Amino acid sequence: MNYTVLVYFLLLALGAIISHKGLISDNFSKKLGPIQNFCLLFLLFTMGVRIGLDKKVISSFFQIGAKATVLAVFSILFSIILVRLVRNMVLRDEGEVNEP
């Protein structure tokens, strides 16, 4: 496992443990959403700046969009097929299945 993955995992786990154990105040908990949104929008703005600075990406934007669509469709198709393969194992003994 490389260093970056470990740092990401530790940060996620640390946040989850602190919150799960109730170590954050209700007041802070309420502010968590807006803080996350601010971090996220700032990061996306920075990502946009990097894209804007890269003239090669800007000139091939529609080509990138076409690639993105192909990748998304294949990801969805294969995940549906694999979930289909395990459905009987997951839903055994469950009585609430009401499907087509």
Partner 1 sequence: MSLSIILAVVLGIGVGYFLIPDCFFSYTGIITDIGLCLLLFFAGMDIGKQKGVFKDLKKMGFRILLVPLMIIIGSIFGSIVGGFLLKMPINESGAVGAGLGWYTLSSVMLTNYSTELSAIAFLTNVVREIIALIVVPLIARYIGYLECIAPCGATAMDTALPVVSRSTNSQTTIISFVSGVILSLVVPILVSIMIKI
Going by the DSSP 8-state scheme, the letter that residue 22 receives in this structure is: T
Indicate whether 90 belongs to the interface with partner 1 (CB under 8 A): yes
Q: Could you say which residues in the range 28-47 bind partner 1, by CB under 8 A? A: 29, 32-33, 35-37, 39-47
Decide if 66 contacts 59 (C-beta within 8 A). Answer: no
For 24, which DSSP code? S
Rounded to 5°, angle at Cα 10 from 8 and 13 = 110
Q: Applying CB under 8 A, does 94 fall inside the site for partner 1?
A: yes
Distance CA 99, CA 39 (A): 41
Shortest Å, Cβ 69 to partner 1: 5
Q: Is 85 in the site for partner 1 (CB under 8 A)?
A: yes
Q: In angstroms, how far is CA 75 from the centroid of its own chain? A: 14
Position 96 contacts partner 1 (CB under 8 A): yes
**Binds partner 1 (CB under 8 A): choice among 25, 26, 27, 86:** 86
Judged by CB under 8 A, does residue 26 bind partner 1? no
